[in-house]
Structures are given as C-alpha cells and as structure tokens.
Structure 1
C-alpha cells in the first residue's frame, strides 16, 4: 500500500520509490544522497502518477546534467505526426525530457499520445493551452479556465508544468521603471502580463498558488516556475525586473516544498559570458538550491541560424556553475519551427554542453567515454571510436565519405599522421 503522496514526501520518509530505483541505476549518487537531496529540494524527480511507462529521471545536485527537447505545433505548421517523429528522435538521441508547446489543433490528443509512448519526462505550459482550448483572447480567460487546463494536463499524465507564477503586479511595475530593449519575450509571461494589465488583477497563479499546489500534490507534478521576465537580449540580462521576479520565485519555492511539491526554477535566456556564473549562483542563493532549468543561455544575439552553438557555449558554462537542466536550442531558434534536422543539431549541441560540464564538475564516470575515445584514437581503432561517439552515425558517414590510401589513417594527415608515427617509434 502506498504510504506517500509525492516523490518528495517519500524522500522525507526515507522511502525508495520505483522511480528512485531507476535514478540509482543510471547515476553514481548513493541512495542516501538521493533521498537527502530530494527531501531538501535540491533534487527533483518529476513523475506524474498517471504517466505509467515513465522511467524515473532526476535533476539536480550531484547528478548528470539533463537535456530537454521542445516540440509542438503552431497554426502555421500543424503536423502532429512530424512532432511525434521529433519526440521519437529525442528519445533515440538520449534526451531526458520532452516539452510539448503546441498552440493549435487537438492538443489534448497529441499530449496523451506523447504520455502513452514516451518513457522520458513530459512537460507542458498550460497557459498556452488555455488559449488554444478555449479559443479566447488571453485577457478574456477566467480564473476557472486557467485552472481547468492545469487539471486536464495533470490528468493526462504531464510530469512537470511551467507556470509563470512569479510575474506579479509588483514585478510588472518594475518593467515600467526599468525599460527594456526587448521587453517581455516569454510567451507565457506576455500572456499573463496582458491579462493582469487589462483586467487590473494580480497574477492568478500567484494569488491562488495554493490551489495550484493542491493539483500538483494530488498528481505528483513538479512545478517548473517560469521566468516570465527572462532577458531576450544581452542588453537586458541581469536587470532589475529579472531579479525582482527571481526573488518571488524563491518565496514560491518554499511554499511548494512545504506541501511536498517538487520545484524547478527556470532561468535566462540571453546572458553575456561574463555574467553567467553570477546568474547561476544568484539563482541558487535566492531559490534555496532548487534545480535550475535554463534556456541556453545564448551568449550573443547576432547568430540566427547558429543559435544551437551560442546556446551550447552558454549551456556548458551555466552547467559548470550550477545549472542542472539545459533546454535545447536549435538552429531554427528565432526564425521558424524546427525541422527534424534542426532538432538533431539542437540535441547534439546541448548534449555536448551537458557532458562537458559534467566532466568539469567531476561527476564520477563522466570522463570514462572520453578516456575510451583517447585509447581508441591512439590505437587507430576506428570502430572503437565510432562505438563511443555521441553520434556514431555521423562519425561513420564522415569517415566513409573520404577514404585514405592507407586504411589506418584519415585523409586529413595521411602519411603525416602523428599518431601512426608515434606508434611506430614507441611501440615497434
């Protein structure tokens, strides 16, 4: 008989859940450390009770850096089969979660398909879906309609939901006194800000946060508290509105933990390299070491078409200094809905960033595949290199596309191969 309400409640009671057993199989953390981190809130294990085929994955202190893949349809590009293909690719390429951001069509049917077939965590933004579901303008949504959508997503088995509960009236005023170059770039943040201003009311998810916690506790949903005022350009990074909202996110975190509801904190955004470490440490301090989920950060604004690279640079540095969860960015960011090829590039860029950070953070075993690669390269063992590569298929294609005269080397150096020369001198 189940004797706990949520994963956090189980951890506080010293109970190892089936999902925790999954985590212990894939991480090097000890059972004691996992329970301690989850009880304290520094580790989150999103696992909705209705997501039956979920394999538990945890995010936070002492764990490997995780990668999320965003997908979903829009009015202009509404092909649910294509999005399911992206989800399958995400799982095949070892992403740890999928977020459905669909804003058109039969979103519930698609969401239910995702939950039914995906073994990884599923996240959503109910604020978007409320507009799609009701067909109303954002400012015409009622309080009941906001929460009805959350309840629907809970019943559908969504493991974590992004809710921009920290965008209060006080924070909105901060935007007026601290003008921004790009204003509000968060879709959820912009929708709620419009609702608040046009209705002259407080953020419904802030004012009725306990009602949100009721739903999350009953279904064991992790709240990913959204950063409605994340900077949308380098000029706006680390400004007063962003920090004002972050302080509120920290307050909401403690309220959620008191109800045994798990929390992640979402973070920027567009941040210059020299401000990333400060942003990570500030979040951890103000939000009591809750797991940090970042979009990027993107370290320059002028590389559309290459933002998977600008994001990977920022993501590696962010994860080295405290970020726990990287939301992938594709080459299509800021330009269009990503295609399958964009999704692959985005996943690989984020996985590389996450792995680089795990090595820098001294995660036990993180460097093991790199050591295997170094050994295979010195032995001129091409098959061994492919086996340990993050993307064996691409590595094989490149190798096959340009064959050398001597099969042990490559066409970059040929007879001038330093490794072959060294082996001939040292080993022969």
Structure 2
C-alpha cells in the first residue's frame, strides 16, 4: 500500500491498521470510518514514529475523547513528577496527553512520554522554541520556528497545536475590537508579540505549506490553535474569535488538499446560551472538521472549581457537536496542577464526555448507565463500585460511613427506596422499625 497519511489512505480506499483498531473500539463499520476519515470529519492522529500508540479516532459519530495537559515549566521542573502524572493519566484511560513543557529538558521529557504512552501525544511547538534556542522571542527566526515543528514531528508527536490563524489580518481585527482580556492563548500571545516586535507576518501562516509538508511527512494531525479564543465570557463570540475561525476554515481546506488531518480548537470562556451556536459555527465554517474545545468555562468566578465550570460547558459543547474535550483542573488560573488536581480534572472531563455521548446517542453509551442502574436496583455494592467512573472514591465513601444493614447506606438506612420496593414487589413485609 502506498500512502502518506491516514487521510491519504482513506481517499485511496485503503484500510490501515489504525482504522481497524478504531473500528473495533468504536463498533463502527470500517467502510463508514474510512469514508469519514477521507472527508476529514474523523481524524486518527497516529505519527509514524509513535510505536507505542493505541490509535483513537476523534470526530463524527465517535465517543467524545478527552485530553490531559502535562509538562514542565520554569517554576516547576520536576520531570519525575510529570512522568508520574503521565502514568496516572494512562491508567485513567485518557485518550490524549499534551506535553506543554516550556522550559528545561523538554526533549528528554517528550521522548520518554512518547516511548511509554499508548495515548496519542500532542504538543505546542512554539512553547518549546524559546528554551530550545535559548533566545528571546523576538530573536527567533521563522525558519527556527519551523525547525522546532519538524523536531517534534520526528520525535513522534501525533498532533500539534499551531496557531496559524492569528495572521496580520486577524491581528488588525483584534486591534479594532477591544477586548476585556485581550489574547489569553499562550501560543497566540507569543505569536502576536513576535509579529508586533518584528513587524512581520505570523511565520506559521506565511509558511503554512511548509508546515503541512512536515505534517504529511510524519502523518501529524494539525490542531489549528485558537489564538483568539475568549478568556472571559465578556469576550465570547466576538469579532476576533469569529474572524480567526473563518481563517481556520480556509486553512482546513488547504491542509486537506495535502492529505493532512485537521482538528479545530475552540473556546474558551463562554456563557451557556452561546455554546450550541458556536458548535454550529465551527462545523459550518470548518466543513465538519473535528472540534476540540478548551472548556468552555461557563462562568469566570470560580477559581479552584474550574474543573466544574469546564465540565458543565464541555458537556453542552460535546452534546452539540464538539468531539474532543481538553480537561481543566481545579488549579486552572492559579498554578501548575498537582497529581490530585489532574485526577479531579480527568474525572470531571470524562463525566462531561460521557454525558454528551448519551445525548448524541453514541452507540453503546447508555449501556454503562443501564448496568449501574441495575446494580443499584439489586443493591449490588461491589458491582456499583466496579462500574463507578472513580471506583476508589466510591469505595472510600462507603467505607467511611458503614450502615448497620448491608443492603442500605447511612443516608436512608431501612427507609431505602430500593430495598423497600424490592421487598414489597416480592410480596414481603417492610420492617423499618423492627429488627430482621
């Protein structure tokens, strides 16, 4: 078989081993999957150099996937701690891990991550550029930025966030339309600053064909970053965000012409009543490309609880068409997440994804809930724990407050509705005050 990328194979009618894997995981007909990959409505991020990968599909009709952000920073350079997070994220079955390392031995960490991870791996190359070259931002050349992209691709990264849509035209729209929180995307802010300091075009936009050639060579999925995503509900669905989204749609078509798979990144912070419309806009303007949302956070007032504000928005977004959720932890806006923050973020995001899959009628999504409800009706505690999204926490809560009667809990005791309905429907007496 002669093909360059998953999309190229799909267009030529070939079935790859990655497609076969996704077909089995998702219980989707292989030919349907191939057609959707060919159309760009499903992506299978699978770098040719990521040997440990257990391929996943992202897009139309598939389970909503979640991503976990990790990585070292200048203030927190503990590689061993980040690797411990990686192991936990894999154990908790996160489908994707993004290495957002921005300081120190980024290559060492990235290579270890790719070597050990069956989850797809993403990066944001511009984060790495300053440390990689040990240069101030304004002194890095366009060619050097592109070389970092190629280095990440060579290392085996499956998808890369590249902020190609914040070009000079988008920047002018941003300048004319004042925002409360300006540009909150880290990569977007770095590129905007580079453009202003050097009075030049965004190198990733200007040399977009070179970026696509790199992606095609290694079969890297390009995640078109949303530099102008809203950083407050005040800035949601404004001129800058929509202008950039239009540009991302144009860039999507150009990528598909070169058989490069595309994910579109989205908001951000956004009021509940705007989310559904934003999902429709992305699918329309970007021709059905999979949508990867960062939240959206539905209120700005909950530092320490933004895993909750994000899960609310993520569930609504995915129910209305988003395909991929970036987790948010309780530490968002405050500090680098620790291991417990990461766990809470993963659980909250997985709940949002599953709730959305039920709403979208994803094949088999309701089966899990049916089994849990059956175990509850039967007062089968062990099965309930096994089915729980966080079995450890469920067992701990039960153990911390043990009831006198095993078929009850300390909330209702012998007034338990499940217990009493089971008894009465079997023609038995209900003894609430008497001992058995």
The residue that corresponds to 2:147 in the other structure is 148
The residue that corresponds to 1:90 in the other structure is 89
Which consecutive residues of structure 1, in runs of 5 or more, have no partner in the other structure? none
CA-CA distance at 1:394 after TM superposition: 1.0
Inter-partner Cα distance in structure 2 for 1:280 and 1:173: 25
Inter-partner Cα distance in structure 2 for 1:99 and 1:176: 31
* Residue 210 in structure 1 maps to residue 209 in structure 2: yes
The residue that corresponds to 2:291 in the other structure is 292
**Which TM-score applies when normalising by structure 2?**
0.97
* Residue 134 in structure 1 maps to residue 133 in structure 2: yes
Inter-partner Cα distance in structure 2 for 1:91 and 1:114: 11
The residue that corresponds to 1:364 in the other structure is 363
Matches within 5 A, 1:158-169: 158-169=157-168
Which consecutive residues of structure 2, in runs of 5 or more, have no partner in the other structure? 428-436
The residue that corresponds to 1:5 in the other structure is 4
The residue that corresponds to 2:221 in the other structure is 222
Please list the CA deviations of residues 130-184 of structure 1 after superposition, one character each: whole Å capped at 9, or x if unmatched. 1110111211110111011011101100000000001010111111110000000
Look up the SS of the partner of 2:183 in the other structure.
coil
Inter-partner Cα distance in structure 1 for 2:66 and 2:19: 19
The residue that corresponds to 2:183 in the other structure is 184
Look up the SS of the partner of 1:367 in the other structure.
helix
How many equivalent pairs are there? 427
Please list the CA deviations of residues 360-406 of structure 1 after superposition, one character each: whole Å capped at 9, or x if unmatched. 00011100010001110011100111111111111111111110000
Look up the SS of the partner of 2:374 in the other structure.
helix
Inter-partner Cα distance in structure 2 for 1:404 and 1:385: 16
Matches within 5 A, 1:324-363: 324-363=323-362
Look up the SS of the partner of 1:223 in the other structure.
strand
Look up the SS of the partner of 2:161 in the other structure.
strand
The residue that corresponds to 1:387 in the other structure is 386
The residue that corresponds to 1:199 in the other structure is 198
Inter-partner Cα distance in structure 2 for 1:279 and 1:28: 29
The residue that corresponds to 1:322 in the other structure is 321
Matches within 5 A, 1:44-123: 44-123=43-122
The residue that corresponds to 1:373 in the other structure is 372
Matches within 5 A, 1:237-252: 237-252=236-251
Look up the SS of the partner of 1:245 in the other structure.
helix
CA-CA distance at 1:285 after TM superposition: 0.3
CA-CA distance at 1:30 after TM superposition: 1.0
Inter-partner Cα distance in structure 2 for 1:144 and 1:175: 26
CA-CA distance at 1:55 after TM superposition: 0.8
CA-CA distance at 1:45 after TM superposition: 0.4
Please list the CA deviations of residues 256-284 of structure 1 after superposition, one character each: whole Å capped at 9, or x if unmatched. 00000000000000000000000000000
CA-CA distance at 1:28 after TM superposition: 2.1
Look up the SS of the partner of 2:67 in the other structure.
strand
Look up the SS of the partner of 1:69 in the other structure.
strand
Look up the SS of the partner of 1:34 in the other structure.
helix
CA-CA distance at 1:427 after TM superposition: 1.8
CA-CA distance at 1:72 after TM superposition: 0.5
Q: Is the deviation greater in 20-29 or in 295-304?
A: 20-29
Inter-partner Cα distance in structure 1 for 2:5 and 2:175: 40
Q: Which runs of at least 4 in structure 1 moved beyond 6 Å after TM superposition?
A: none
CA-CA distance at 1:296 after TM superposition: 0.4
CA-CA distance at 1:100 after TM superposition: 0.2
CA-CA distance at 1:63 after TM superposition: 0.2
Inter-partner Cα distance in structure 1 for 2:226 and 2:216: 22
Inter-partner Cα distance in structure 2 for 1:324 and 1:139: 35
Q: Is the deviation greater in 391-400 or in 38-47?
A: 391-400
Look up the SS of the partner of 2:414 in the other structure.
helix
Inter-partner Cα distance in structure 1 for 2:197 and 2:374: 63
Inter-partner Cα distance in structure 2 for 1:132 and 1:322: 37
Please list the CA deviations of residues 191-214 of structure 1 after superposition, one character each: whole Å capped at 9, or x if unmatched. 100111111111111111000011
Inter-partner Cα distance in structure 2 for 1:188 and 1:236: 18
Please list the CA deviations of residues 60-101 of structure 1 after superposition, one character each: whole Å capped at 9, or x if unmatched. 001000000001111111101111111111111111000000
Please list the CA deviations of residues 35-76 of structure 1 after superposition, one character each: whole Å capped at 9, or x if unmatched. 111000000000000001111101000100000000111111
The residue that corresponds to 2:265 in the other structure is 266
Inter-partner Cα distance in structure 2 for 1:368 and 1:264: 29
Inter-partner Cα distance in structure 1 for 2:407 and 2:207: 66
The residue that corresponds to 1:276 in the other structure is 275
Please list the CA deviations of residues 328-381 of structure 1 after superposition, one character each: whole Å capped at 9, or x if unmatched. 000000000000000000000000000000000001110001000111001110
Look up the SS of the partner of 1:210 in the other structure.
helix
CA-CA distance at 1:115 after TM superposition: 0.5
